[in-house]
Structure formats: structure tokens, C-alpha cells
Structure 1
Amino acid sequence: MPLVTTKEMFKKAAEGKYAIGAFNVNNMEIIQGIVEAAKEEQAPLILQVSAGARKYAKHVYLVKLVEAALEDSGDLPIALHLDHGEDFEICKTCIDGGFTSVMIDGSRLPFEENIALTKKVVEYAHERGVVVEAELGKLAGIEDNVKVAEHEAIFTDPDQAAEFVERTGVDSLAVAIGTSHGAYKFKGEPRLDFERLQRIVEKLPKDFPIVLHGASSVLPEFVEMCNKYGGNIPGAKGVPEEMLRKAAELGVRKINIDTDLRLAMTAAIRKHLFEHPDHFDPRQYLKDGREAIKEMVKHKLRNVLGCSGKAPEILEEIKKNRG
């Protein structure tokens, strides 16, 4: 099964009121853990690569690892997505280099400049059968190359969102409704602006795919495990899973997950090295990290995103569209 775009994924997700998981990948074990989970759950996948991941592992290595995952996964629908592309050149490189979806993040720019940049990427991508995600509004937090201070965070304006989508022709839109990047998403009680989300949905074309960045739940068991075995990440707090389920019901079709992957892998590795101080073979502790990712992703696919078992219906939609 070759790489697919997110078009059919989002169409079926809208019909079923569920979301597709977009998981950030950085190395072989992370990719293996995610894909093994999706195979067992028969769930569609978006594997996404950030600027930090491309700098760490190199574009060609990540693409070849994803190609291996495709070969190993059978008929699993998988899209390869660029996360937070900062300029046209990075998006062009990924489009030309085999990605089926790219995000152009012009959220740091004034509204008109964001439109102009996004439209340029959309025109180049659509000519080559690639879909485009953009962002309107700014999420607070730090993750890879994304650094936005809390006082600079800006929630998405529903009227601007409608104008932005109409003028750019973008395929999906990341919105800011209270999530943030990193492990420290909330200082007090978690809160998402669902009223704003509903207004955005009403303003956009019917079933237009909305994306939620900064959507890791920062699962307490992994934070506790990290801290128990030598870590120092007190007070980390993410988006409660029931809020993510509600967001999917209201119209969010893509939910980004990165921090939870990092925490799961790090917690498992810390525990392994603490319990086996004589181990120095990376295969020993990375195996535990890979297994932790697999089990965490299975939980997300089944209990949060609601896309377990949805791969066959998406494949059927893909085959129908391809004639």
C-alpha cells in the first residue's frame, strides 16, 4: 500500500465523528511502535515529521523508515506529513521528497502575509497531488522549533478562519482554542474553548477538517515513572482525554500527539536502566521504549481518537476515488 493523503481519512472521520491520530516520529523504534499499534487496532495513521526531526535524523532516513513501515504494515492507510513547515522551501522539499501532506505554519505572520504564504504552498502542493494544512492563531509552549510565550498566544478568530480557508484553498486548518505545545500545557485547571471551536465549525464549509495541535494528555503514569527513576518533570499537565473526545465530536479531525510519545519512551527506558544497571546494549532498553509507545498509541487509537477498526472503510473510500 503506497502512502496516501489525508483526504479520504478526514472524509470518513467526519461521517463517523472521530479523529485521526497524527504521531510525530524521530527514529526507528518510535515508527515501529506506532505502526505496530495501528496494525493491531486496524487504524489509519498520520506519521508526521517536524523540523527538529529532520535535523536530528535527516529527511532521507525518515522517509526510508516510513517506506519500510509501509511494506511491513500491509494495507494500512498511512499519510506522511510535514509538521510546522516554516517556509515555502521546506514544504517544497518535502512535497518533492515523497510527503503526501505538508503543514505551512504562517501563524507568526500578519494575516495577509499568512494568506499569501499559504496560498503559494497550496498551489504548488495541489499541482502534485499533495494536501496542505495551515495554522491560524498561536499556541503557547515549546516543542522542537516552535517557541511561543504564553502572553503571545492568540486564539483563532472564527470569522478570520472562514476568510482564510476561502482565500487560500487550504485542505485543513489548525486552530488555537487553548492547547499548547510541550509537557506543561496548563498551570491551573485544563480548559479548552469549545464555544469558539463550535463557532469556527459553523463558519467553515461543512465537514471541513480542523486540526488540534499540542494535544498530548501528558499521561500521569509516565510522568510519575520518569520522576521515580531519576527524572525531574514535576507539575507536567496535558489535555484531558475526555476533552479530546469532545473536540472530535465537535469537528476536530486530526489530533497531534508528540509529548506523550516522548514521555512513554523515556519513562520505559529510565525504568529499564534503573532495574538493569548492568545493561549497555541499546537494543535491550530501546525494546522497552518501543513497547511502551505501542501500548500508549493503542490506547489513544481505541479510547481517545475513536479510529480503531476504521482502516478498512478508509481503504474502500480510497479505492473508490481511484476508480
Structure 2
Amino acid sequence: MALVSMTQLLEKAQKEHYAVGAFNCNNMEIVQAIVAAAEAENAPVIIQASQGAIKYAGIEYITALTKVAASNANVPIALHLDHGTSFAQVMQCARNGFSSVMIDGSKLPLEDNIALTNKVIEAVRPLGLSVEAELGKIGGTEDDITVSEREALFTDPAEAKHFVQATQVDALAIAIGTAHGQYIGIPKLDFERLTKIREQISTPIVLHGSSGVPDDALREAISRGVCKVNIDTNIREAFVRAARAVLEGNAKEIDPRKMLGPAREAATAIIREKIRVFGSNGKA
């Protein structure tokens, strides 16, 4: 099956009230794990590549690996740029066969974010690519900001409405209390803010930084309108834990397959769990 547009996946998810898992890849084994999990759960899936992944593996390798995986899969797969920060990088992904891109102008003033997003949409939508943007600032793992500062980072519902009307973007990532990386403590999501944003826009809503969010909170967010959930850290944790266990059991092991095989299996298992939490199992 050829790569599909993320829009195609999210429109169905929004209509049927589940979320599509968007899982970050960094190497061949993780691409294989994502697709194996999606096949096992009969679920649509989004494979994401961040700037770090592209720098590490190379954009040609990531694209080729994902295209091979998709061509042999029986479930729909989109290949998505995660947190693209420049027009040039977005166009590089478009030229190399990505089916979807994210342009992250969240650090810019609102009108500049809108202008950058529209520039990307104008360039890639005629090519059939979908575009995700971000409004609000999704933080890191440190919990040393005050409530007022924390609130200032969250997505404003009125701004979300203005942004969507001004761009007609295909998906909008919002900030309601999640963070990238490993959490210190349990994150508290602002569900009322999410509901207000959902009331203002009909665009598919994306939740970043979801690895440390409890399953019940993810289900609640999905019930309130989130239909794309990003997972990266949980995959890394499972992958490295399994590889480390092999070395701890046999410090003289030199066969990378003996380490990466179990790591791939562990990644597949956690991705399958997330797919079931998102409710996308059986939705391919």
C-alpha cells in the first residue's frame, strides 16, 4: 500500500471518535516495530521523523524504509515530518516523498506563525501533502515555572479559532499541559481548555508530548476531540530497556541482532498498547 495523506486518516478518526497514533522513528527496527504493531492491531498509523531523526538516519533512509514498510503493509500509513521549523526543511521532506509535514511556528508571534503556515500550505497542498501547525508552546520536562507562566504557554481558544480561519490548516497541535520527554510527576491536562478549543474549531486536534500521560487522561482527551496522539519517549524507553537487558545478561554479546531484535519486540509491544488506548485498533 502506498503512503497516504495524514488528512485521510484524521478525518475518519474525528468522525468515529478515536485517535491515530503518531510514532516517532529513528532507525530501521523502530520503523519495523511501528508497522508490525499497526498490522497486528489492524490500525492506521502515522510514522513521524523529527529533525533529530533526519539528522541521525538521513532523510533518504527514513523515506525508503517507510515506503518499503508501507508497500508491504495492509494498513494505511502516513509519513510525517514532526516539528519542522523552516520552509526549506518542509520542502526537503516534500521532495523526498513524505506524505505530511508539520510546520512549527509556535515560537513566533501569532501573525508570523500564520504567515509561515500559509506559505507551507500554498507550497505543499497542491502536491497532496497534509499540513499540521502548532499554536501555544509545549514545554520540556522541567516543572519550575509558575502557574501564570504556565498558563501563558497554553493555547488560547480564541487564537485557535483565528489561526484556523486564517490558514485552513489540516491539523492543529495545541498546548494543554503536556510536555516533551520524560515527565517529573504526573502531568495535569487542562481538559476544559481542550473543550473550549474544540468548540471553536472543527480542525483535527493533535496532542504532543503524550508518552507520560496516563491512559485515562489520554482517553479523556480523545473523547473531547483529540484525534492524533504523538508518542516518542515511551518507544525509546522500551527499546533501550530491552537492549540493555541483553547486555546485562551477557556482557560479551557482540551480535547487534541479539540486542536489536528484543528491542524491536519491546517497541512493538508498547506501540500496540498505545494503539488500543487510542481506540484505533480495528480501524484500518
TM-score (normalised: structure 2): 0.95
Please name the residue that 1:14 is paired with: 14
Deviation at 1:29, TM superposition (A): 0.5
Determine whether 1:30 maps to 2:3: no
- Structure 1 residues 23 and 16 mapped into 2: Cα distance closer, same or farther (>3 Å)? same
Please name the residue that 2:281 is paired with: 308
| Distance across 2 between alignment mates of 1:169 and 1:22 | 21
Deviation at 1:127, TM superposition (A): 1.5
Q: Which moved more, 1:269-278 or 1:164-173?
A: 269-278
Please name the residue that 1:51 is paired with: 51
Please name the residue that 1:230 is paired with: none
**Unaligned segments of structure 1, at least 5 residues:** 217-237, 312-323
Report if aligned partners of 1:27, 1:57 keep a CA contact under 8 Å in 2: yes
Deviation at 1:126, TM superposition (A): 1.0
Q: Which amino acid aligns with 1:85?
A: G
Q: Secondary structure at the match of 1:255?
A: strand
CA offsets 1:15-38 (integer angstroms, 9 cap, x no match): 221000000001000011111111
Q: Which amino acid aligns with 1:141?
A: G
Please name the residue that 1:287 is paired with: 261
**Unaligned segments of structure 2, at least 5 residues:** none
Deviation at 1:71, TM superposition (A): 2.5
| Distance across 1 between alignment mates of 2:143 and 2:93 | 24
Report if aligned partners of 1:91, 1:104 keep a CA contact under 8 Å in 2: yes
| Distance across 2 between alignment mates of 1:77 and 1:190 | 31
CA offsets 1:276-318 (integer angstroms, 9 cap, x no match): 222111000100100000111111112x11101100xxxxxxx
After TM superposition, list the pairs within 5 Å mapping 1:1-323 onto structure 2.
1-73=1-73, 75-141=74-140, 150=145, 154-184=153-183, 186-187=184-185, 189-205=186-202, 208-216=203-211, 238-302=212-276, 304-311=277-284
| Distance across 2 between alignment mates of 1:129 and 1:107 | 24
Report if aligned partners of 1:80, 1:100 keep a CA contact under 8 Å in 2: yes
Q: Which amino acid aligns with 1:57?
A: A
| Distance across 2 between alignment mates of 1:100 and 1:116 | 22
Deviation at 1:148, TM superposition (A): 11
Deviation at 1:123, TM superposition (A): 0.8
Aligned-residue CA RMSD (Å): 1.6
| Distance across 1 between alignment mates of 2:100 and 2:130 | 5
Percentage identity across paired residues of the two chains: 51
TM-score (normalised: structure 1): 0.84
Deviation at 1:128, TM superposition (A): 1.1
Q: Give the 4+ runs in structure 1 shifted more than 3 A.
A: 147-153
| Distance across 1 between alignment mates of 2:170 and 2:24 | 20
Count of aligned pairs between the two proteins: 280
Q: Secondary structure at the match of 1:79?
A: strand
Report if aligned partners of 1:19, 1:306 keep a CA contact under 8 Å in 2: yes
CA offsets 1:142-185 (integer angstroms, 9 cap, x no match): 6xxxx99857750000000000011012111000000000002x
